[in-house]
Amino acid sequence: MKLLNCPHLGARPENEFTYGGEVRVQPDPDTSSDAQWADYVFNRQGRPGTHHEWWYHNPTGIWFIAERDTITDRFLRIELASPERLKEAGHG
């Protein structure tokens, strides 16, 4: 079972977490076309490589943002979720 080495918590097994999907940036709903909006709602980035992902630790109720290489399935970086971190991940 994979381990997530989280700030504040230390190494925790994967089954203590809920995967929250990739970090995504919502397009402006007022200006995007139906097609752009549908793309945001329904399509996900499946390209192998480094992804920014939401991971939720169930026992503590803490959201983390993890950087994971989906080719090697290795976590490169895990941090507390915060608006600043999200901004960085969204642009990354």
Q: Which residues bind another protein (CB under 8 A)?
A: 1-3, 8-10, 12-16, 18, 20, 26, 29, 32, 34, 37-38, 40-42, 54, 56-63, 73, 81-83, 86
What's the CA gap between 73 and 87, in Å, rounded? Answer: 23
Q: How far is the CB of 7 from another protein (least distance, A)?
A: 8
Count of Cβ atoms closer than 10 Å to residue 39 Cβ: 12
Indicate the residue among 50 and 74 with the shorter CB distance to another protein.
Answer: 74
Q: How far is the CB of 72 from another protein (least distance, A)?
A: 9
| Letter string b/e over residues 56-80, b meaning 16 or more CB atoms within 10 A of that residue's CB | ebeeeebbbbbbbeeeeeebeebee
Q: How far is the CB of 91 from another protein (least distance, A)?
A: 15
